[in-house]
Amino acid sequence: MDVGKHQETYLPKYVAKVFSEYTEKDAQIQLRRFPSRIPKKVKEVKDELDPYTNEARAYHCIEMSCTSSERIYYPEFHGVITDLGRSRFTYGFINPRAIVLEPIRPKLASRRILAAHSDDTCGIWNRLNILGLLSGFELEYYHSLFHDRIRRLLVLHRLGITHGDVRDDHFRLPGDFHDTVLYDFSHSYTFSPVMPYLVNFRPPRSLKKISENEQAMVEQQIFERAKNLDFRDHLEKTTGLNPTAAVDALFQSLEDESLDLIILRVHFRPDAFSMPSVNSVFPFLEDIRPKDDQTWHIRRGRLLKSYEAVWISSTTNGSGQTDMSFVSDSDYTENSTGAKRRYLLCLVPKEWGVEGVRGPLMSICSSLPRGAHGCIKTRIDLQNHD
């Protein structure tokens, strides 16, 4: 059964986030409003507070210091523009500076797969459990959402960057339910040996204190979402289930559920070639849900621990030829040729055994139609590809 086929349309490769000028006069006004504790020149204050400089500095640091597995936590950075002329603007104010980024959209093409976490003892798990409102699947969903967001934050903090504006809608686009990347570094601060005037537009504090505060903000945001049952509400809205049916889907026994092979097309490499987190894989399951089975994705999300992950790399060269190979953390190599690379996440039921299905897996993935987001196959389908 092939599902998730969509007609391909042209989409721009880049987006320019424009910034207005932050002038020395702006810096002088700020200094009068909040005098510096240490002598600071106006130019130094301007450099510290300019949102464009803050964001460009953060992206440059990410680009230079992060591994490819960490860079997926943020939008792809393609450089800066400092001299946008008047002719580039058809209306409105002229903003001469821009940061060129990957265009993030509320679609699978912008979503990342993150590895499943292994920490079941953190404070938010206990807080969520005490609520007494959530099914086991909802608990795991919010727990993985917390870990996925914290992972993005902690890489920044390790680089000496504090985000400065950790809001729920800076992990997911406004109006979108699922996360994409952590973005908007206009309030960020990149630590250096120079004593700062302000850090994240606030009185200076240590990196450790700010890191603890930003992590606590993420925890509280997710706790509030869980308390409001926003995941359950999302399931009701997207499936058309009434509240009673949604609760049944979350709590009913799955003891007799038969499993199928799930193959998902992913545009970006994961942070680890292993089992995905519930939070990051769920929108992919949601997208390929069979039209005649409203709760398939919920049941598969609940049964995720009954699967093993196999990753396949799909590379298409300039001539249109595609090469596929199994890929893992130990044998992954950076793509230095400019060839288009995509990935296929194959979720194989543990009871089937991974080693015996590698040949059919490659055959199925090779025959996946262009534009398909994935497919669902039975064991009989798999045997037919032997």
Check: CB of residue 269 under 8 Å from CB of residue 332: yes
Q: Is 314 helix (H, G, I), strand (E, B) or coil?
A: strand
Each residue's pLDDT tens digit, 350-381: 999 988 888 899 999 999 998 899 999 999 98
* Segment 42-86, tens digit of pLDDT: 999 999 999 999 999 999 999 999 999 999 999 999 999 987 665
* Rg, C-alpha atoms of the chain: 23
Angle at 6 between CA 17 and CA 12, to 5 degrees: 20
**Closest by CA position to 182, among listed 73, 321, 335, 299:** 73
Q: Residue 5: pLDDT band by 50, 70, 90 thresholds?
A: very low
CB contact at 8 A, 309 and 326: no
Distance between CA atoms of residues 95 and 88, nearest Å: 10
Least confident range of 105-114, 234-243, 365-374: 365-374
Please list, in sequence order, all residues whose beta carbon lies within 8 angstroms of the beta carbon of residue 237, skipping any fewer than 6 positions away.
none
For the chain, the structural domain boundaries read 256-384
Residue 1 above 50 pLDDT? no
Q: Bridge partners of 265?
A: 344
Q: What is the DSSP letter of 140?
A: H
Would you state the pLDDT for residue 53? 96
Instruction: Give residue 322's pLDDT.
Output: 87
Residue 93, pLDDT > 70, answer no
- DSSP percent split of the chain into helix, strand, coil, nearest 5: 40, 15, 40
Checking if the pLDDT of 30 tops 50, the result is yes
> Quick check: 14 and 386 in contact, CB under 8 A?
no
What strands lie across the sheet with 15-19, from one edge to the other? 15-19, 97-101, 77-81
- Measure the CA–CA gap between 156 and 211, rounded to whole angstroms: 9
Residue 335 CB contacts under 8 Å (≥ 6 apart), including other chains? 315, 341
pLDDT in tens, 346-355: 999 999 998 8
* Contacts by residues 217-225 (CB-CB < 8 Å, ≥ 24 positions apart): 217/166, 218/146, 218/149, 218/150, 218/153, 218/166, 219/123, 219/124, 219/127, 219/146, 221/167, 221/168, 222/124, 222/142, 222/145, 222/146, 222/149, 223/124, 223/127, 223/128, 225/142, 225/168
How do residues 95-107 score in pLDDT, each as one tens digit? 779 999 999 999 9
User: pLDDT (tens digit, 9 = 90+) per residue, 263-322?
Assistant: 999 999 999 999 999 999 999 999 999 999 999 999 999 999 999 999 999 998 877 788
